[in-house]
Amino acid sequence: MKPPAHRPQAAVVISLLAVVMAFLVPGSASAAANLVTNAGFESGTLSGWSCPAGGVTTSAPHSGSYALEATPSGSDIARCSQSIAVQPNTAYTLSAWVKGSNVYLGVDGGPSTWTTSSGWSQLTVPFTSTGSSVTVYLHSWYGLPAYQADDVVLDGPGGTQDTTPPSTPGGLAVGSPTSSSLKLTWSAASDASGIDHYDVVRGTGAAQGVGNVTSWTATGLSASTTYSFKVRACDPSGNCSPYGAAVSGTTSDGGTNPPVGSLPAHVLTGYWQNFNNGATVQKISDVPAAYDLIAVAFADADASKPGGITFNLDSAGLGGYTVAQFKADIAAKQAAGKKVILSVGGQNGTISVADPTAASNFASSALSVLREYGFDGIDIDLENGVNAQYMGQALRSLQSQFGSGLVITMAPQTIDMQSTSFEYFKLALAIKDILTIVNVQYYNSGSMNGCDGQVYSQGSVDFITAQACIMLQGGLRPDQVGLGLPASSQAAGSGYVSPTVVNNALDCLTKGTGCGNYKPSTPWPSLRGAMTWSTNWDASNGNQFATQVGSHVHSLP
């Protein structure tokens, strides 16, 4: 018998050597790419980062000699960000090691995640790029202690850095004066890579980003006062045009809010469940008359059209409720002066509107569903987040086709409305002129900072009032703000309060009475009202929300 040949052994050695070299040779297929500049802060500075409230620290970094340390304040979340060139429509993974309370890692206009950890903990955010640049960010929360971050990685192929600024927007006009607001409109700027946002400057103040819109309303102004404004355009790579010429406008001496249409000045909103989850099963006709606005939960995603929606009545789960009965009940509610709208989203909602095609699909499909069933409007309750730019485009397109009577409401989670830099808040401000009500879900939240910089626990008057005033101080009109609470302890994981607490919060915000430790410096008598999840859970709880909160809402000044 011949001895075994030695060539296979040599091949094995060569193969192993190739594997080892793949890990050792820079730029090899196995080596991770990192597109972040100064990713480990080893320059000893924040070079490459925009981080007004941050610095570097040498105290126990995750690796190397330095780490980022940023300190929030009562009015700032200590955001640190970096714009990075990428390839469009490409998968990337963002990660960072963080330490501290409520530390967030995310991508502007895309996903994010967060953690609270006393030691180093790694956060990871996979996403797909939509343009040639992304902005990655880290931040904590109002009034919390300093947080640390280190070894930030954006793994994926690099793009070509865009250094060309957009054109300067023209045609700036200031009009529609009220005693406290002025509406600005301008012509869109041109830019091959797209516009990320516009900056507006009032007088000699700081620039305020207002999203990718061509109209915006300046609020919180004084009556009979002249203000000047100028606007510039910025693209996703951080390039900004020069400011256009300043234009002035003067507020009136006694303006009022826009008309509220056929909805009452103070509104009780209730979500109606198109499914059976143990709460009382209802038909639309079973919803108590105290509810002025009924939100049908929920629309379904159209798998054939990104961003598209459909609606399918759960006849079997609702005891044989037919589509014909459903439509007739909607019409009967409308004849009684109520509004019935379709809610998009919910805990399990998977609808995403993050590009022009999805925005177009959303608008056209929503219009079709609203007309088919006779709905009065749309509610945005996407708990997986929104893209302010493209959802704003979709809602404006829908409103232009449906007509000025379209009811548009939103039901963001508490955390989504903590800052005007967050996508839900940006969306609300971007469509403020056509937005009806924002009913924030003041439950399943845990503790949060209020508008006074103090931390409040959910389930109290202070929590509700100090959260609501964030929206009021952030630019929404009082008639666009509602308080969302669960109808029973079974309706939410946490945050249920009795109707008495809801009514006290309404009184505190509208009259300055019934407050806890926090009392607003001024009441907002035109606050719109309250919302509950859901009319079905309310029925299971003896309709206490409809009876007690409903009557209180309708008695407000």
Which positions are catalytic? 383
**Torsions phi, psi for 428 (to 5 deg):** -60, -45
83: tokens are 């714009």
> Is the Cβ–Cβ distance between 287 and 270 less than 8 Å?
yes
The CA-based angle 336-346-442, given to 5 degrees, is 85
Whole-Å CA distances, 72 to 60, 78, 101, 102, 458: 20, 5, 11, 11, 21
Count of Cβ atoms closer than 10 Å to residue 8 Cβ: 9
The 3-state DSSP class for residue 360 equals helix
CA distance 152 to 150: 6
Rg (Cα) of the chain, in Å, rounded? 26
- Pairing, β 339-346 against β 377-382: parallel
- Strand ranges, E, within 285-402: 293-297, 300-301, 309-310, 339-346, 377-382
For 61-66, the CB contacts below 8 A with 24+ separation are 61/148, 61/150, 62/97, 62/99, 62/120, 62/148, 62/150, 62/151, 63/97, 63/150, 63/151, 64/40, 64/150, 66/40, 66/41, 66/42, 66/150
> Is the Cβ–Cβ distance between 186 and 173 less than 8 Å?
yes
Q: Which amino acid is at 377?
A: G
> Is the Cβ–Cβ distance between 341 and 372 less than 8 Å?
no
